[in-house]
Structure 1
Amino acid sequence: MPKQRSLRTDERTRGEPSKSARTRERILDAAAKVLNRNGYAGTRLSDIAALAQVQAPALYYYFTSREELIEEVVMLGMARAQTHVSETVAALSEDATGLDRICAAVGAHLEVVLRLSDYASAAIRNGPQLPADLRERQLVGQRAYGDVWRKLIDEARAAGEIHPDLDPRAARMLIIGGLNWATEWWNPNRGSLRTVITTAQLLTRQGLAAPRQDP
């Protein structure tokens, strides 16, 4: 552990990443790919080392255990998903409606888990497989991400844009659950990401929208 804390201090204070920092990042990138592909039970340090192009014993210079390495991947994945969604929504114009903001979040979530980040995809796909203690820590980040969605739905509901018969919590869980399941079935050879995003946004908008008021 002391070596790891020292390395992180180096990363914060140096303008350019050190060789050790670059190697550590390469190991994390490899771990995210292996975890995303093989799942928690099938993730082996030897596979990570081979993909990262380091000797397997070298992994222990950066991480004290397989679990510590996987935990960092999962935590980074949740953080990256939340950051991408939050930044996408924040970039919308001020006249965007509540439903516009929710649909932007839908698109951003699918972008980050299906194309932009192996970390985010690995975190979402492997959450239920994690050991109880690691799962509990992962849920902290997951709940923080859920709060982003809770706020979006609550704001749209307060503005009268959400169907009054919908339960906000159930709606939120069904939307996020459906989006997360896309990591299991989406195949880029059978449909573009843009098509999947458009479909998900249409389903979300029409499913949440309050009834139109005739003049």
Structure 2
Amino acid sequence: METDKSTEQKILDAAKKVFVAKGMAGARMQDIADEAGINKALLHYYFRSKEKLFEVIFTGTVGRFIPRVNEIFSSDMSWQEKIETFSSEYIDKVLENPFLPLFVMNEMHKQPEEFLKKMWGGEKPKIGKFLKQLEKAIEEKEIRPIHPAHLIMNVMSLCIFPFIGKPMLQMIAGVNDQQFFQLMQERKLLVPQFIIQALKI
């Protein structure tokens, strides 16, 4: 039993690397078997197809986080709390799964419609309540006017780019993995503070 779990985890770790490097369309079962250090027959014993393997990885990472995103933005939290909660939980999720940003970005560019449908379960993100909160805050002159798309881009880029640009950051700033982890912990507070402060009149 322990051997089975160890082999399966080795396969999943290898598949993540291959899917990130080559995308869903470009990845081959042989590539994954080679990365895992096993033969292709053993790989097929655990996972019958590349699609099934992709589904397991996807569901175990992105698939579990997406419902949480909808839960955050459709909740009764204030708009500020929603930005704070999303930023913190997104950064935590990516620290647990460093391959995630490149994986999602690659798939979105290679097969955008198919991947986004799979990612959101065929539905659009449930951000209607959040947008209404922003509209109200603008109307009441609590915050400066801003197009929702700009706000979404600001939050996403401030949370996502550090992970995509990690090698460059480490080279320029001389940051090691442990220091990068600490910076990301600090960023869970800094990102929402920066966004919210920038919106204030």
Matched, 1:112 2:93: yes
Contact 2:66 2:120 in 1 (8 A): no
TM-score, reference length from structure 2: 0.65
- Structure 2 gaps of 5+ residues are none
1:175 to 131, 140, 155: 155
Q: Distance in 2 between matches of 1:119 and 1:75?
A: 14
Among candidates 154, 159, 164, match of residue 131 of structure 2: 154
**Structure 1: segments with no counterpart, 5+ residues:** 1-16
Aligned CA distance change for structure 1 residues 172 and 196 (closer, same or farther; 3 Å): same
CA apart distance, 1:27: 2.3
Superposition pairs of residues 1-215 of structure 1, within 5 angstroms: 23-24=7-8, 26-36=10-20, 38-40=21-23, 43=27, 45-83=29-67, 85=69, 89=72, 97-113=78-94, 115-118=95-98, 120-121=100-101, 123-130=103-110, 132=111, 135-143=112-120, 147-148=125-126, 150-151=127-128, 153-160=130-137, 163=143, 165-186=145-166, 187=170, 189=176, 191=180, 192-207=183-198, 209-211=199-201
1:147 is aligned with what amino acid? Answer: P
Q: Percent identity?
A: 19
Letter in 1 for 2:149: R
Aligned-pair RMSD on alpha carbons? 3.9
Q: Residue 10 of structure 1 corresponds to which residue in structure 2?
A: none
Whole-Å separation in 2 of the counterparts to 1:19 and 1:71: 23
Q: CA deviation at 1:78?
A: 2.1
Q: TM-score, normalised by structure 1?
A: 0.62
Aligned-residue offset at 1:101: 1.9
* Cα deviations by residue, 1:81-116 (Å, 9 ceiling, x for unpaired): 3255567x49x9x7x532022121012112212x11
Measured in 2, the distance between the counterparts of 1:108 and 1:153 equals 17
Aligned counterparts of 1:181 and 1:198: Cα–Cα separation in 2: 16
